[in-house]
């Protein structure tokens, strides 16, 4: 009865009051939680500050100085007093390989009779002494991309390789699948503000050092000071070791007639004015670059680039003017080249060295105008499968960024990207690099569905949208003439039909 006598206005007021009470209670609870969270954060920070020196006291961001923290300047031998059995070590690679530190690490492991130390790295330079026979029980190398200095260890079972796309390597650190106890890096000396540069290799090194427990830096005045994502404040280093040594050099070798022919075919037929280029290191990329001196408004967006880019910049052929991002700037992630290249990038704000998960992101690659990706291969079968990481079952290199850029170019939003695989038609022994089938055990890096252009010194095969017999016909036509008849017979045996256009 009483309920029936309550007016609608009173009922509304009652519900409004109840809602207000609920909001008040919720606000009190939220404030309490926030206060507890803030208190926990403060206590955690105080704990880090008062405990072992750590650059995680506030933020792992390399460009953020850590107030009150300085590296301990010492010798490489003393820096590795912290090394212990079962540690995980990350080493920077390519031209930035910290050779001096790796040598000291190896000696420490041997002298202290340590065991089961894992060393993760991309392609490294130098002798890699930690992969020697007498280090088999001390160190084990894990390569994200193999160089010649670790191939024997992998072949003999004393080392490992990890098949992975280059842009996904940082994910191993971000998800903490790999958490280095020690990161070994190679940097330029600190400037007036305490900032160093990762120099020639940002790639996955930045992601690795962010999660590493201890950082040992090899500080070298010959390391180029580069920009972009390369900057790191010295307060992030736990130990710093001074060296003064030249960086390893590659390239600058005389081009063969085969190299020149392949370079000319690509430059004259596949690279347009205004194209954005990606290419690796070696004679074929050098030959392509040498043939582009009459092109205009070229751009560079590449995981790495070679010395030929320097000449094109100086000639005004590379302007980076048409790129939607990083306009006017050459973008790379790591370098391996000549001293001329290192001098060019040193303190040069027109060059940005960026994280490989960004540079090799297919969505970013696809936005570059007329993206032209030029990559090499060990062999290609008659259906277009590309092997680029092994010789039969013997591992040779790795996936690298080939698939990243081949796919990114194919997905170009302007519809004018060109994914290119370039290789000589024959090996130095005279064996055909275009084969009926890949060698038993050989890996497929770029699938036949990814392939568009295959180039040898005998021409260009366009495979996109072609049937297997059409592909076989196109590839046989760019094989060395001495092998074409054999390839044609093999194609018939495999396809049960003669290759035809």
Active-site residue set? 303
| String of DSSP letters for 240-283 | EEE---PPP----PPPPHHHHHHHHHHHHHTPPTT-EEEE-SSH
Instruction: Tell me the β-bridge partners of 183.
Output: 90, 215
CA distance 458 to 416: 24
Length of the chain: 501
Backbone angles phi, psi at 240, to 5 degrees: -130, 135
Q: Which of 169, 170, 136, 138 is nearest to 154 (CA)?
A: 136
CA distance 35 to 429: 73
CA distance 344 to 318: 14
| String of DSSP letters for 162-216 | ----GGGHHHHHHTTSS--SEEEEEEPPP-TTSEEE-TTB-TTHHHHHHH-SEEE
Residue indicated by tokens 């280095």: 180
Map 298-348 to HEC letters. Answer: EEEECCCCCCHHHHHHHCCCECCCCCCCCCCCEEECECCCCHHHHHHHCCC
60-69 contacts, C-beta under 8 A, 24 or more apart: 60/210, 60/211, 61/210, 62/206, 62/209, 62/210, 62/231, 62/232, 62/233, 62/236, 63/195, 63/231, 63/232, 63/233, 64/233, 65/193, 65/194, 65/233, 65/235, 66/233, 66/235, 66/236, 67/235, 69/235
293 is written with which tokens?
A: 């001196």
Q: Is 431 exposed, middle or buried (0-12, 13-18, 19+ CB in 10 A)?
A: exposed
Question: Strand, coil or helix: what is 442?
Answer: coil
Question: Strand, coil or helix: what is 433?
Answer: coil
Where b means 16+ CB within 10 Å and e means fewer, 23-59 reads eeeeeeeeeeeeeeeeeeeeeeeeeeeeeeeebebee
């Amino acid at each position: 009865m009483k309920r029936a006598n309550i007016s609608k206005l009173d009922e509304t007021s009652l519900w409004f009051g109840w809602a207000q009470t609920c909001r008040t209670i919720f606000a009190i609870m939220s404030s309490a939680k926030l206060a507890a969270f803030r208190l926990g954060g403060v206590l955690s920070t105080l704990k880090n500050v008062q405990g072992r020196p750590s650059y995680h006291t506030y933020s792992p961001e390399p460009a953020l100085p850590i107030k009150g923290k300085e590296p301990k300047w010492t010798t490489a031998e003393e820096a590795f007093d912290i090394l212990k059995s079962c540690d995980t070590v990350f080493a920077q690679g390519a031209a930035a390989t910290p050779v001096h530190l790796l040598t000291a690490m190896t000696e420490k492991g041997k002298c202290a009779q340590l065991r089961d130390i894992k060393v993760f790295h991309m392609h490294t330079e130098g002798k890699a002494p930690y992969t020697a026979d007498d280090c088999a029980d001390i160190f084990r190398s894990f390569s994200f991309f193999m160089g010649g200095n670790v191939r024997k260890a992998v072949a003999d079972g004393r080392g490992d390789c990890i098949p992975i796309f280059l842009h996904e390597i940082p994910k191993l650190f971000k998800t903490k699948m790999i958490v280095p106890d020690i990161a070994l890096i190679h940097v330029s000396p600190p400037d007036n503000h305490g900032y160093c540069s990762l120099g020639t290799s940002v790639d996955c090194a930045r992601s690795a050092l962010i999660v590493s427990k201890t950082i040992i830096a090899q500080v070298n005045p010959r390391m180029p000071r580069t920009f972009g994502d390369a900057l790191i404040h010295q307060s992030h280093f736990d130990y710093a070791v001074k060296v003064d040594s030249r960086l390893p050099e590659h390239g600058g070798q005389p081009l063969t007639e085969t190299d020149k022919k392949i370079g000319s075919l690509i430059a004259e037929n596949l690279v347009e004015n205004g194209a954005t280029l990606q290419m690796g290191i070696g004679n074929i990329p050098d030959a392509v670059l040498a043939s582009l001196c009459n092109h205009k408004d070229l751009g560079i967006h590449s995981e790495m680039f070679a010395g030929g880019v320097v000449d094109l910049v100086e000639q005004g052929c590379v302007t980076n003017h048409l790129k939607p991002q990083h306009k006017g700037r050459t973008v790379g992630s790591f370098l391996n080249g000549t001293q001329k290249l290192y001098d060019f990038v040193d303190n040069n704000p027109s060059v940005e060295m960026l994280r490989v998960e960004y540079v090799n992101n297919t969505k970013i690659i696809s936005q570059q105008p007329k993206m032209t990706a030029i990559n090499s291969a060990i062999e290609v079968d008659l259906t277009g499968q590309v092997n680029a990481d092994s010789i039969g079952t013997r591992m040779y290199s790795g996936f690298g960024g080939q698939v990243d850029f081949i796919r990114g170019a194919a997905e170009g939003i302007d519809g004018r990207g060109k994914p290119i695989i370039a290789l000589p038609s024959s090996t130095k022994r005279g064996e055909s690099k275009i084969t009926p089938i890949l060698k038993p055990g050989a890996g497929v890096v770029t699938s036949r569905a990814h392939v568009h252009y295959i180039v040898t010194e005998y021409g260009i095969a366009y495979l996109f949208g072609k049937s297997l017999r059409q592909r076989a016909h196109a590839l046989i036509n760019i094989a060395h003439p001495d092998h074409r008849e054999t390839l044609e017979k093999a194609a018939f045996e495999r396809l049960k039909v003669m290759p035809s256009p």
